[in-house]
Amino acid sequence: MENHTIKFKVRLGLFIAGGLLIFIVAVFIIGRQKNLFVPVFKLTTTFYNVSGLQVGNNIRFSGINVGTVDNIKIINDSTVQVDMLIQQSVQKFIKADCEAAIGSAGLIGDRILIITQGSADAVLAKDGQQISSKEPVEPDAIMASLQVTANNAVIISDQLAGIMTQINSGHGTLGRFIKDSTIASNINQTIVNLKKSSKGLDENMNAAKDNFLLRGYYRRKEKAAEKIKSDSLEKKAEEQKNK
């Protein structure tokens, strides 16, 4: 009977100790999330729509969690006030012209409050100060925009398909150009004629150079070109020498 009582007391003591340990760990975790064990300062901001933001959500600055949302309350039919608790250690980095924006921790993650960086010459934000905000983009608006884009893509795809069908059928200027062998033959002949004309023009230019009346003109032109080339080589040599 005495051994049974001792075992019962031991089990009871272990149960109580385990409960206390779990309670202490829970208090520590909750306190850490709520910044109960670190000095904090308070900032406020207002939104037209908080887009699912809740009390206790994280606050990030430069991608780092620096605080939590302390309170959310409706001021009027178009204004919602959000109170923030920020770690005092980062107060020296938060400027008065910083802005608060609502984002997500991931594609489908919880909502978070993001504080953007302010300008370098701005004064530091004070305890209890209100900072400006950026209204969040609603997921429904994004989906509506994507739907419009998808509908436009379908219309453009159908139009391109119709154009390609007409081209393959030989309709229209481009279709006739691709399908009609006569047009292709005429274009080839035109290219051949242009080549012959270019060759004839080169021959005429060479004949003009040998002409007595124009020989002096072309010689002066060649001398000027040689002089420019010579000056350029001398300038490069001088630059290399100076280096």
pLDDT in tens, 59-79: 999 888 899 999 999 999 889
What pLDDT band is residue 81 in, cutting at 50, 70 and 90? very high
User: Beta strand pairing status for 64-76 and 58-61?
Assistant: antiparallel
Specify whether 74 is located in the same domain as 128.
yes
Residue 92 lies in a domain: yes
Q: Is residue 170 part of a domain?
A: yes
**Per DSSP, what are the bridge partners of residue 171?**
none
Query: Domain for residue 85, yes or no?
Result: yes
Indicate if 22 and 94 belong to the same structural domain.
no
The single-letter DSSP state of residue 98 is -
Give yes or no: residues 125 and 91 share one domain.
Answer: yes
Q: Is 90 exceeded by the pLDDT of residue 42?
A: yes
Task: Report residue 98's pLDDT band, with 50, 70 and 90 as the boundaries.
Answer: very high
**pLDDT at residue 172 is higher than 80:** no
Distance CA 211, CA 203 (A): 13
> Taking the C-alpha atoms of 175, 180, 186 and 191 in order, what is their torsion angle to the nearest 10 degrees?
50
- Residue 45's pLDDT is 94
219 exposure class (CB count in 10 Å sphere: 0-12, 13-18, 19+): exposed
Tell me how far apart the alpha carbons of residues 183 and 168 are, in angstroms, rounded to a whole number. 16
User: Would you say residue 243 lies in a domain?
Assistant: no
With respect to residue 214, please indicate whether it lies within any of the assigned structural domains: yes
Residue 241 lies in a domain: no
Domain interval for residue 170: 141-176
Task: Indicate if the pLDDT at residue 149 is higher than 70.
Answer: yes
- 218 within some domain: yes
The answer on 53 and 5 residing in a single domain is: no
% of the chain surpassing 90 pLDDT:
16
Beta pairing, strands 111-115 & 99-104: antiparallel
Percent of the chain with pLDDT over 70: 65
pLDDT at 80: 93
Q: Where are the beta strands (DSSP E) in the chain?
A: 40-47, 58-61, 64-76, 79-87, 99-104, 111-115, 129-130, 132-134
137 has a pLDDT exceeding 80: no
Model pLDDT, residue 20:
77
User: Cβ of 67: how many Cβ atoms within 10 Å?
Assistant: 25
Residue 161 has pLDDT above 70, yes or no: yes
Q: What is the mean pLDDT of residues 139-164?
A: 76
Give me the helix-helix angle, 139-169 and 172-179, nearest 10°. Answer: 50
Q: Is 49 left (phi over 0), alpha (psi -120 to 50) or beta?
A: beta
Number of structural domains (the chain) is 4
Please indicate, yes or no, whether residues 29 and 43 belong to a single structural domain of this protein: no
For the residues 165-171, what does the mean pLDDT come to? 68
Query: In the prediction, which pLDDT does 223 show?
Result: 72
Nearest to 133 by CA among 81, 94, 57, 89: 81
- For residue 18, the SS3 value is helix
Same domain, 8 and 91: no
Q: What confidence tens digit (pLDDT) does each residue in 180-211 have? A: 666 667 677 778 777 776 765 665 566 555 55
Same domain, 112 and 87: yes
From residue 206, give the alpha-carbon distance in Å to each of 17, 34, 184, 202.
110, 91, 34, 6
